Structure 1
Amino acid sequence: MCGRYALGIRASFVRHQLQQQGLPVDEAPDDDEARETYNFPPGAYGLVYRADVPDQGAPADNEENGDAAEVTNTQPESYNYQIKTMKWGLIPFWTKRSPDYGSMLKTINCRDDSLIEDRGMWTTMKRKKRCLVVAQGFYEWLKKGPGGKEKVPHFVKRKDGNLMCFAGLWDCVQYEDSGDGSAGEKLYTYTIITTDSNKQLKFLHDRMPVILEPDTEAIKIWLDPKRNKWSKELQSLLKPFEGELECYPVSKEVGKVGNNSPDFIIPVDSKENKNNIANFFGNAKAKKKESMKENPEGKVEETRSTIDHESTEDNAPLPVPEPVLGKKHTLEEDDTQPDAKQQKLSSPGKSSSPSKTTEEKIASSLSKTTAGKTVSPQKTTGRTPRSGTSNAGATMKTSPNKNTEKGTQRITSFFGK
């Protein structure tokens, strides 16, 4: 049987794929009209490919004399073909009221052997309302353990990666007025035809959907509206798939209808499956090994850019001072003019008079007089700003061989007295 399948792609992509496989598409729904899910359940609205015929089905011009069964020269070009949104779970046209969910589940599949005799609820549909149900693949549960209590979901798809085209039947119903406002509304529904499993899937289940090959004579015959009488030729198309399929176990989360994930169609033991906890830890180890190969010593490279500033409170590293061009300064030469250097520290940008005494220099560094008012100097934070010159951080030492004259002594000498 087929009770769940995958269709997690847009209607526009389905249209493109069918056209690439040789099936003409004259009309298709918008992307938001069909449900995109990797866990497609009964009762949802899927995509159905069919000939554009009236809701009653193809006209039965030759039905009385039986000539339709002998038609061999099909003319599909005289009909338009469309992708239409329909509800999964066929509801016959004679139904008066909306059936409950349990009743609808009985018609999500149609057995091929139930179509052999020309009678039953499928008679009208198999003559005039044949279609293809589009899917990426379908799910089936393998029963394991004592009594088959453990069920392992498997996903089946075409090995070539093309879309699956299930043989199906469709119908259109209009309910009577039941007080819910549904009277007069047309509801299109469909069912999927099943047959015996092929050799590849016998271990999984004894039934499988009828899969038709795109761009083949079989599909042209199945969809031909002029073949409006059931025949042995049509019945012979309903057989196990002879092509190559892929079948593998997938996540058990697909068992719940409300779940949806692209991982549902990926093998459960695949490296691409993010839900596999073994893959999660395996990927973490692989990433760690790769990082160790690239950086075996575990060094962290500095990637921050430097900026030119005079403060040390930024996170970025300080720039390397540029060398001062011109005359080279030595410690001895700097010591010969301590007053000038001290003047720069106390009052940058202003030159001091050489006639000022040491006491006056100290007084001017402690306070500033402006227009007769004394302004106290701003408090410092205890940080010494770094100078842009190369000798700003050099320690000033007095040469032991030089005698300093009065007035040229350092300020430290003054406080030491």
Structure 2
Amino acid sequence: MCGRFVMAKAAGDLVAEFELDPHSGEIILRESYNVAPTADVPVIVRKAGQGPEGGTGPRELEVAHWGLVPVWAKDMSFGSRAFNARSETIREKPTFRSAVKRKRCLVLAEGYYEWLKPDTPKGRKRPFYISPEDGSTIAFAGLYEWWRDKDAGEDAPWLLSCTIMTAASPDPDEGGVLGELGRLHDRLPVPLDPAFFDEWLDPENDDAETLVNTAVAGAFDVASGWRMHEVGTDVGNVRNNSPELVRPVRP
């Protein structure tokens, strides 16, 4: 799963890295080393009808509430239990089955945290930080929705929300970082290869089964370029937020 991550880059840096619409650089992103569900997170979307002659528009940066709130939800608190979506059931679950057809996004992170369960009943969980070896930004496969409180009238603001898709982790017996990821947790937030970005983002492509299967099939190749190290337990408190959180605590 993915329950905490890091995003401290400015919008202008993301515009260059992901070839976004230049206007996306005007968005103000809050630097955070401990992003938790229900926080605002940067996402990339492509919108139908906003390109040349009404075609699909360019990649755009948006800020979304982390925790998907479907259009039929009674209130936004629904998103607190929909910050991850399992790839195996994403096309059937009422919460996600509409968004996966045409409202797919990239959820951006510099890295994320995962907790290793103890080997013994009296042992303690240990947090690890996972990030790309080359310092690039991870683009997780995500979904988004627009929601508005119907009881608040037509002037109520719209809320953009998102979720991150997860899949089964690599076999723990794998070599290298993939095996380490498998030992760390049985779920993996699905990262996308840059060559697959536009296909995943295309709002005119509603072949959800093929898109989800392709994303999951390529996840391990992307994750093989990651690294991980143990960090301090301060990351367990969402009020802690500094670069110190990602520093290794062991050689």
Is the pair's TM-score, using the shorter chain for normalization, greater than 0.5? yes
Q: CA deviation at 1:230?
A: 2.2
Q: Alpha carbons of 1:9 and 1:182: their partners in 2 closer, same or farther (altered >3 Å)?
A: farther
Corresponding position: 1:211 with 2:191: yes
Higher mean displacement: 260-269 or 228-237: 228-237
- TM normalised by structure 2 equals 0.85
Larger fraction in strand: 2
The corresponding residue for 2:11 is: 11
Corresponding position: 1:264 with 2:242: no
Q: CA deviation at 1:170?
A: 0.1
Give secondary structure in 2 for the equivalent of 1:144. Answer: coil
The corresponding residue for 1:221 is: 199
Between the aligned partners of 1:203 and 1:112, the Cα distance in structure 2 is: 20
- Bigger Rg, which one: 1
Give secondary structure in 2 for the equivalent of 1:237. Answer: helix
- TM normalised by structure 1 equals 0.53
The corresponding residue for 1:114 is: 89
The alignment of Structure 1 onto Structure 2 pairs a total of residues equal to 236
What percent identity do the matched residue pairs reach? 31
Q: Alpha carbons of 1:96 and 1:165: their partners in 2 closer, same or farther (altered >3 Å)?
A: same
Between the aligned partners of 2:79 and 2:202, the Cα distance in structure 1 is: 28
Corresponding position: 1:158 with 2:154: no
Q: Alpha carbons of 1:151 and 1:234: their partners in 2 closer, same or farther (altered >3 Å)?
A: closer
Between the aligned partners of 1:213 and 1:27, the Cα distance in structure 2 is: 24
TM-align CA RMSD? 2.3
Between the aligned partners of 1:144 and 1:209, the Cα distance in structure 2 is: 22
Between the aligned partners of 1:137 and 1:241, the Cα distance in structure 2 is: 16
Between the aligned partners of 2:48 and 2:56, the Cα distance in structure 1 is: 11
Give secondary structure in 2 for the equivalent of 1:203. Answer: helix
The corresponding residue for 1:27 is: 23
The corresponding residue for 2:210 is: 232
Q: Alpha carbons of 1:177 and 1:221: their partners in 2 closer, same or farther (altered >3 Å)?
A: same
Between the aligned partners of 1:182 and 1:263, the Cα distance in structure 2 is: 45
Deviations 1:260-300 (A, max 9, x none): 11122221236xxxxxxxxxxxxxxxxxxxxxxxxxxxxxx
Residue type of the alignment partner of 1:219: F
Larger relative CO (CA 8 A, sep 6+): 1 or 2? 2
Q: CA deviation at 1:148?
A: 6.7
Alignment of 1:12-161 (within 5 A): 12-19=12-19, 24-28=20-24, 30-32=26-28, 34-53=29-48, 78-99=56-77, 103-117=78-92, 120-147=94-121, 150-161=124-135
Counterpart contact for 1:175–1:183, Cα < 8 Å: no
